Structure 1
Amino acid sequence: MTDLSETPAKKSNIDSAYIEGDERTLRPELLDLSLVERMPTPTGWRMLVLPYTGQGVTSGGIALTKETLDREALATVVAYVVKVGPLCYGDKTKYGDKPWCKEKDWVLIGRYSGARFKLEDGAEVRMINDDEVIGTILNPDDIVSFR
C-alpha cells in the first residue's frame, strides 16, 4: 500500500505560472504556450479570462489552503485576459475607436460574470462578454476581493 503522505502532490500547468516564495504571485508569461493553445478559443465578442486567486501567503506569513485560494478565485473581480474573440470591441458605436482591453491585460469584471468551467488540471477559467469588463488594472493585488 502506498503511503500518501510521501506521495508528492501533482503540480498543475497553471500552478507552474505562479512564483512560490514569500508570496505566491501569478506570472502569466510563464504559462506553458501549449496550455494556452489548448484552452478554448472564444467566439464572437467573448473573451477567455483566468481569475486571479491572489497571494498564497498572507502579509502576516500564513500560508493559505487550496480551498481558500479556490474560494478567492470564485469571488474575485480581477482576471487576466488570455484570449479575445474576433469580434471583441468591434462595435464602434458602443466602444469607440479603442478596445477597452487586450490580451495579457489585467481587468476588473463583475463577481458573477461569465461562464465558469474547469480545465483538466482543475484550474478555473471564465468566458465573458466584451462588455463585462469594468476596467483595467496594472497590479491585481491592488484590489481586495474577499479577504
Structure 2
Amino acid sequence: MKDAYDDDGKLAPESIDSTVLDRIPRPTGWRVVLLPYRGAKKSKGGIVLADQTVERNQLTTVCAYVLRIGDLAYKDEAKFPNGPWCKEGDWVVFGRYAGARIGIDGGEIRILNDDEILAVINDPEDILHM
C-alpha cells in the first residue's frame, strides 16, 4: 500500500496494485473496508517527518478512503431510505474508535459497519488531523 501514495502523501488510488487489492479482505454483509488517511511525509515548513510519526497519524486519523463495500451494505431501505451513504472511491469520516483495525503489508485497513460512516468529504486535507 505504500506505493499508493505520492511524495506529498496524497493517495493515488489508480496506483494501488491490483494484486494488493486482491489480498485485502472482502467485507461480508453490511461492512465497509477503508484505507485510513496517512497524510504528508513533510510538514508545511518542509521538515521530513519520521516514519513513526506518519504511522501514528494514520492510526489516529478519522478520515479514510473507501476500498470495498459488502454485498448487504446500505441495502436496508428502512435504515437508508435515501440510498447509500458512500460508495467505493469516496473519502469518508468515521468515529475515532469505530471498526476493526487490521494490519496489512504497508499499513492498515479498517473494517466498519455501514452505519458507522459519519460523513463523506471531498478531500481529507480539509479535515484537521490531531
- Please, what TM-score do these two structures have when normalized by structure 2? 0.96
| Corresponding residue for residue 124 of structure 2 | 140
| Equivalent of residue 129 in structure 1, options 90, 104, 113 | 113
Aligned positions of 1:64-79 closer than 5 A = 64-79=49-64
C-alpha displacement of 1:97? 3.5
| Corresponding residue for residue 18 of structure 1 | 5
Distance 1:122 1:17, change over 3 A: closer
Pairwise CA RMSD: 1.0
Say which SS state the counterpart of residue 120 (structure 2) adopts: strand
Asked whether the equivalents of residues 2 and 106 of structure 2 are also in contact (C-alpha less than 8 Å), the reply is: no
C-alpha displacement of 1:24? 2.2
| Corresponding residue for residue 6 of structure 1 | none
Asked whether the equivalents of residues 101 and 136 of structure 1 are also in contact (C-alpha less than 8 Å), the reply is: yes
Amino acid at match of 2:113: N
| Corresponding residue for residue 4 of structure 1 | none
Amino acid at match of 2:111: M
C-alpha displacement of 1:66? 1.1
Aligned positions of 1:57-136 closer than 5 A = 57-119=42-104, 121-136=105-120
C-alpha displacement of 1:122? 4.0
| Corresponding residue for residue 35 of structure 1 | 20
Partner Cα separation in structure 1 for residue 19 and residue 82 of structure 2: 32
Amino acid at match of 1:123: G
Percent sequence identity over aligned pairs: 46
Asked whether the equivalents of residues 78 and 108 of structure 1 are also in contact (C-alpha less than 8 Å), the reply is: yes
Amino acid at match of 1:80: Y
| Corresponding residue for residue 9 of structure 1 | none
